[in-house]
Structure 1
Amino acid sequence: MKAATIRRFQTVHTWTGLLAGFALFVAFYAGALTVFHDEIAAWQNPPWRAAPDARVSVNALIESLLAHHPETRDDFGIVLPGGGNGAPYAFWQGRDGARFATASQMGAPASDAGSGSLADFVYALHDSLGLPVVGLYLMGIVSVLYGLALVSGFLIHLPQLLGDLFALRAGRNLKRLWQDAHNAIGVLSLPFHVIFALTGAIFCLFAATLLALNTVSFDGKLSGLFAQAVATAPATKANGTTSVMLSPDQLIARARVAALVKGVSSFDPDYLHFVHYGDRNAVAEVRGLSQHTLGTYGTVALSARDGGVLAAHVGNGQDANGISWSALYALHFGSFGGNTVRWLYFVLGLAGAFLFYSGNLLWVESRRKRRHADQPLRTRVMARATVGVCIGTCLGISGAFGAALACAHSGIDAAMVQRATCYGLFFIACAWAFARPAARAATELLGATAVLTIAVAVADLLANASHWMQPWTPATRAVLAVDLTGIALGLVFARLARAALRRGRDGDPNSVWALPAPIASPTD
C-alpha cells in the first residue's frame, strides 16, 4: 500500500474515532453493564425488597386493566415478572401514545416503562446516551462512523497485522506501550466490533430506514407490509361472541409445549400480547427467550379461548424475518451462549471503552511538544475533555447505583434521583477536569470513582447481611455477583488512579499528564 494511501486512512481513522469516541465510550461502558441487565434489576429490587405490585398475579393485573380501561380489550400486552421486572405491568396504545401501568398505577398510567429501573436507565445510556429519540438517531450516526473507523484502522494495520497482535513493548516509551495496547485490543476484538457497529447502526437507524424506503420504494405501503411480514399470528376479526379465556399460566404452559415440539427445550416467556380479549376469536401471543441458540427470541401464537396453536415462530419454526432479527439482537447483547458468553461480552465492552479512551490519549501524545513545558491548547483541551467525559461517565453511573440503593431503602421513586445523580456527577467531573491540571484531575476523579463504586457495593453487602445466611436463590446469587463485580471495578479504578499519580510524578515533565512542579519557596 502506498504511503499516501496509508496516511489518508490514518486521517480517516483518527477523525472518525475522535468524533465518535466520546459517545462510544459511554455506549461501551454502559453496554458492558447492560449485558447483566437482569442481574442489575434483581440487585435493585431483590425479592426481600419487592414492591406490593410484585405479589399481584398476571390474571389480576389483566382484570384491573380491563376494569379501568375497557377500550384496551382489543389490543394490549403484559410484561411478565422476572427477567429483571419486579412486578408485571400492562402496555397499550392510548390516545396520547404508549401507556404502561402496574396494578397500582391503573388510575394514572405512565408514558414510559420502568422509569425507576436502574437497569433500564443504564440500558438507555448505552442505547441513546439517555436522550430520548434524538439520542437514538445520534448513536446510529455514531455507529456508522464507528464502522468507518474500524475499516480504516484495519487497512492501516493490515501490513503488520501479526506484529501488532502480539507486540506489547513495556518500557519508558509510554506512547509506544499505549499504541501497542490499542492495536492489540483492536485487532483481537475486531470481529466483535464489526458486529457491534453493524447491529448498532441497524437498531438505531431502523425506523429512519423504513421511513425512507416507504417513501422512495414502496409508495407508502411499507408499514402495512412490514407489520404483516413480522407478525406471528394471522390477522383475525372479533366474532362478537363472549368466551372465557384461558389463564396466563395455562397459555404459557401451552406455549412451552409448542416450543418443545419445535426442538426448543428452554423457552422462557417474558411477554404476552392479547388481541380481542374475551372474544371467541381472541388470540394470545407468548414471546419468550431461548438459551443456547442464535435465534434467541421466539413467539408462539395461541387461541386465547382453548389454547390451540396458531403459529410457532421458535427454533426451527422461525421464518427468515424472525431468525434474522433475533440473531442480530443475540449477537449484539451476547444472549445466545449462557453466562460464559455474557462474561466475554462484559470484558469486550470494557475493552472497547478502553479502546476509545486510549485512542484519545494517543492523539494527545502525537501532538504534544516533546521539549516544551507549555503544551498546545488543543492537546490540553482534548486531554481534559477525555478525563472529564470518560471518567465522569464511570463516576456518574456509580452514582446512579448509589442513588438507586438509597431510594430502595428509603421507599423513594428512584427515577429522577438516579438520573439527576448520574448527570450531575458527570457534569461536575467535566467541570473539575477543566478547572484542574489534567493529571491531577484524572487522579482525583479516578480515586473518587473507586471510592464511590466500592462504597456502594460494600453498603449493599452489609444491608443484605441477614439474607446471605438464608437459603440461596438465583436472585441472591445475582445480587452478590453485582456487589462483588462492583468491588472489583472499584479496585481497578483505584489501580488506575495510582498509575495516573505515578506517571504525573515520575513521567515526562513536559507531558500534559505531568503534575505541576511545586513552587519553590524564597528560602530555597
Structure 2
Amino acid sequence: MKNGFRQSMAWLHTWTGLLVGWLLLLIFMAGTASYYREEISRWMRPELPATTVSTDVAAERAVHYLQEHAGQAETWFVTLPDPRNPAMRMFWRNPESVVKPPVEGERRRRGGGRFGDATVDPNTGEKLEARETRGGEFFYRLHFDLHYIPVLWARYLVGFCAMFMLVAIITGVITHKKIFKDFFTFRKDKGLRSWLDFHNVSAVMALPYHAMITYTGIVTLMVMYLPWGIKAAYPTDEDAFFSEAFGGMPEVSAPAEGRAAPLPIQQLLDSARTHWKGVDVSGFSVTSPGAANAVIDIRQRDGRRLSIDTPALRYDMVTGKLLMESPASGAATATRGVMYGLHLAHFADWGLRAFFFLSGLTGCLMVASGVVLWAVKERPKHAKSGRIGFGLRLVDALNIGAVAGLPIAFAAYFWGNRLLPLQLPERADAEVSVFFYAWGAALLAAFVWPKRVMWTWQLYLGAALFALLPLLNALTTHAHLGVTVPAGDWVLAGFDLVMLAFGAMLAMCGWRMQRWTPPLSAAEKKKRAAAAAAGSAVAMEAKA
C-alpha cells in the first residue's frame, strides 16, 4: 500500500469491477428482468385468457380436471391463478404400474411417462394449448445458471462474480470520500469527468439496493459455497441436514387405503383461510387422491410475507381434520428465508416491484458505465504511443458486445417468440437459441470492428428491435395495445409500453454516441495551443 490506503482501494475497485464486469452485466440484466418473469411469461403466451373466476371456482375446476385426466395418479400438484399468472398450472405423478412403455419409433416423454402436466383455463376448466416457451423463467435461470455452462460450475462462477461485486461496492464507498456530494454532481460533456460522474450517480442512487441484492444473492447459495460446516455436523448423512433445515412438511409415506369421496375443495380452502386469518391460498397438493386416507397440503399465497418459506396446512381430505401445519423455522433457517425473500421480492406489490426493477436498471447502468470508464481512462495513454494496445481493443470489443449487444439479444428473444412457428419441435429451446445467436452476432461484430460507429449501429439496432416489438405483436396476435388498453389489461399493455420506452432510451443513446466528440487530451490541447500561438505570431509579423 505504498500509494496509501485510499489509492489501494481505488486500484482494487477498478480491477474487481473490470474483471467480471461483462458477466455481471448479464447477471444484473437477467436478474432485473426476473422481477417481472410472470408478466413476461404471460406476454409470451398470448393465448392465455384473463382470469374471471374466484380462487374457489378455479380450485374446483382443477380438481375436476385431475379426477378426469389423472385419477390414478399418486400425487397432484396445483398452482392456482393470481393477478400475475391467469392460468392454472398442474402436475401429477403416476404410479409405476400405469406407466406405459414407449411405442417403437415414438419419442419418449421426459420423465418416462411417470409425470404429467397441464395448463388449464380456470374460466372453463379446459386444457389450454398455448405456445411452448420458457418465458420469463429463462431470464430467472440465466442469471444464476448461465444456461450452457454446467449448473454446478455456473453457480460457482456467479458466486465468484458476486463476491467481486461486493468488494467493488465496499471499495467504491471507501474510495469516494465525498460520495454523497458526488451524487449531486454531474458535469455534462466533460469527457472522462462526465463518465466518472455518471458512474458515481448510478452507484450511489441505489447503493443500499446494490449491497442488498449482491449479499442476498450469495446467501441464496450459501450451502453450496460453504459446505464444510454441514460435512462436520452430518458426516455420513448430509440429506438429514436439508431435511431438518429446509424440509417443511414431511412427505406422506402411507400407501393408499380404500376409496372414499373427498370433501368439497372450497370447504378445505375456507378452513385454511380462517386459520390464516383471511390470507388467500396459492395452491395445493393432494397425496393418494380418491383414497380413504387422502391428504391435502394447502399453501399460503405470497403477500406481505418477507420470507420465501411458504406456510402450509395439511388436512385429511375426507374428514377435513387439520393434521398438521408447517413447522416453525429455527433462527438460522428463518434468517436465510428472509434473505432469500429479499432477493426474489415475491412480497412486493406493484409499486415496490417497480422500484426494485428501476433499482436493478440503475445497477446495470453502474456496471456498464464502470467498464466503459476504464476504456475512456486508458485511451489517452494509448494515444500517446500512437497505437491501440491489445488490452484496450479487447475491452472496447467486450464493452460494445455486452453493453450494446445484450439489449439486442433480449429484444431478439421476444421477436423469436412471435416469429418462430407455433408447432416447431423444441420451440422453447429455439427461442433461447435466438437470444444467444443474436448476442453472439453482436459480439462478433464488435470484435471485428471495435469502433465508435459500431456502438452507434448496435444501439440503433437495439432501439429498433424494442420499438417495433409492439407492432410485431399487433401483426401476429390479438393481444396488442389496441385491445389491451381499452380492456384495462395493464400486464400485457404495460409490457408493450415498456418496450417502447426501452426503444426510445436506446435510440437516444445511439443519437448521443453518433454526435459525441471525444475530448482532447492535455497533450493535444497543448499542441493545438502552441500551433495557434505560432499562427498568431506569423500573422502579426505579416501584418507588421
Separation in structure 2 between the aligned mates of residue 497 and residue 234 of structure 1, nearest angstrom: 56
SS of residue paired to 1:102? strand
RMSD between aligned alpha carbons?
A: 3.6
Q: 1:87 to 1:227 in 2, by over 3 A?
A: same
Confirm or deny: 8 A CA contact 1:255 1:302 kept in the other structure: no
1:125 aligns with 2:142: yes
Out of 442, 447, 470, the residue aligned to residue 455 of structure 2 is 442
398-407 or 94-103, which moves further after superposition?
Answer: 94-103
Q: Aligned partners of 1:355 and 1:459: how far apart in 2?
A: 32
Q: 1:285 and 1:481 mapped to 2: Cα distance?
A: 35
CA pair 466-410 structure 1, distance change in 2 beyond 3 A: farther
Equivalent residue, structure 2, for 1:233: 249
CA contact (8 A) 2:93 2:116 kept: no
Q: Which amino acid aligns with 2:306?
A: L
Task: Using structure 1 for the length normalisation, give the TM-score.
Answer: 0.81
| Equivalent position SS for 2:346 | coil
Q: Equivalent pairs: percent with the same residue?
A: 22
8 Å CA contact 1:285–1:299 kept in 2: the answer is no
Q: Given the two structures, how large is their TM-score scaled by the length of structure 2?
A: 0.78
**Are positions 1:358 and 2:369 aligned together?**
yes
Say if 1:222 and 1:249 are closer, same or farther in 2 by CA, change over 3 A: farther
State whether structure 2 residue 465 is matched by structure 1 residue 452. Answer: yes
Aligned pair partner of 2:180 in 162, 181, 188: 162
Hey, what does 2:102 align to over in structure 1? none
The CA deviation string for residues 245-269 of structure 1, in whole angstroms up to 9 with x for no partner, is: 3455554443323222xxxx44340
Look up the match of 1:520. Answer: none
Please list, as runs of the form range in 1=range in 2, the aligned pairs for 1:66-465 lying within 5 A after superposition.
Answer: 66=70, 73=74, 77-82=77-82, 83-84=84-85, 86-90=87-91, 101-103=116-118, 116-131=133-148, 133=151, 134-157=153-176, 159-171=177-189, 173-209=190-226, 211-233=227-249, 237-238=253-254, 241-242=257-258, 243-246=260-263, 248-260=265-277, 265-269=278-282, 271-295=283-307, 298-303=310-315, 304-312=317-325, 320=331, 323-369=334-380, 371-372=383-384, 374-407=387-420, 414-461=427-474, 463-464=477-478
> What aligned pairs does 1:50-65 form with structure 2 within 5 A after superposition?
57-63=61-67
Specify the code of the residue in structure 1 equivalent to 2:162. Answer: S
The verdict on how the C-alpha distance between 1:46 and 1:327 changes in structure 2, with shifts beyond 3 A counting, is farther
Q: Secondary structure at the match of 1:402?
A: helix
Letter in 2 for 1:331: L
SS class of match (1:492): helix
Query: Hey, what's the Cα distance between the residues in 1 that align with 2:479 and 2:313?
Result: 44
> Aligned partners of 1:220, 1:365: CA distance in 2, in Å?
55
The structural deviation recorded for 1:351 is: 0.9
Residues 443 and 100 (structure 1 numbering): CA distance in 2 closer, same or farther, change over 3 Å?
Answer: farther
Residue 111 of structure 1 corresponds to none
Contact persistence 1:90–1:102 (CA under 8 A): yes
Cα pair distance change 1:493/1:94, threshold 3 Å: farther
Instruction: Give a deviation string over 1:405-457, Cα, whole Å, max 9, x none.
Output: 23486787640221111000000000011112421111111111111111112
AA of the residue aligned to 1:397: F
Over 3 Å counting, the alpha-carbon distance change for 1:276 and 1:510 in structure 2 is farther
Q: Does residue 497 in structure 1 map to residue 510 in structure 2?
A: yes
1:43 aligns with 2:46: no
Verify the 8 A CA contact 2:230 2:241 in the aligned structure 1. Answer: no
1:18 CA displacement: 1.7
Residue identity matched to 2:206:
S
Alpha-carbon distance in structure 2 between the residues aligned to 1:166 and 1:35: 29
SS in 2 for 1:352: helix
**In 1, are the aligned partners of 2:263 and 2:319 still within 8 Å (CA)?**
yes
Looking at structure 1, the residues matched to 235 and 273 of structure 2 have their Cα atoms a distance apart, in angstroms, of: 40
SS state of the match for residue 136, structure 2? helix
Amino acid aligned to 2:180: L
SS of match in other structure, 2:444: helix
Structure 2: distance between partners of 1:469 and 1:500? 37
| Preserved CA contact (<8 Å) 1:287 1:300 | yes
SS in 2 for 1:285: strand
Shift of 1:208: 4.9
Distance change >3 Å, CA 140–CA 169, structure 1 → 2 = same
Matched residue SS, 2:432: helix
Alpha-carbon offset, residue 365 of structure 1: 1.7
Paired position in structure 2 for 1:9? 9
Matched residue SS, 2:133: coil
Distance of 2:193 and 2:514 partners within structure 1: 20
1:355-374 CA deviation, whole Å, 9 max, x = no partner?
A: 11111111112222254453
- Name whichever of 342-351 and 80-89 sits farther off: 80-89
Distance 1:416 1:459 in 2: 21
Compared CA separation, residues 100 and 15, structure 1 to 2 (3 A): farther
| Cα distance in 2, alignment partners of residues 280 and 231 from structure 1 | 26
- The AA in structure 1 aligned to 2:63 is N
Give how far 1:160 is off. 2.0
Would you say the 8 A contact 2:459–2:507 is kept in 1? yes
Alignment correspondent of 2:54: none
Give, in whole Å, the separation in 1 of the partners of 2:170 and 2:406.
27
Does 494-503 or 361-370 show the bigger shift? 361-370
Paired AA for residue 363 in structure 1? W
Tell me, in whole angstroms, the C-alpha distance in 2 between the residues paired with 1:62 and 1:137.
Answer: 40
Which is further off, 56-65 or 284-293?
A: 56-65
Q: 1:177 to 1:404 in 2, by over 3 A?
A: same
Structure 1: stretches of 5+ with no match in the other structure: 106-113, 512-524
Q: Residues 59-99 of structure 1: CA distance to partner in whole angstroms, max 9, x if unpaired?
A: 245346745xx5x61x5533444543744231659999797
Shift of 1:311: 4.1
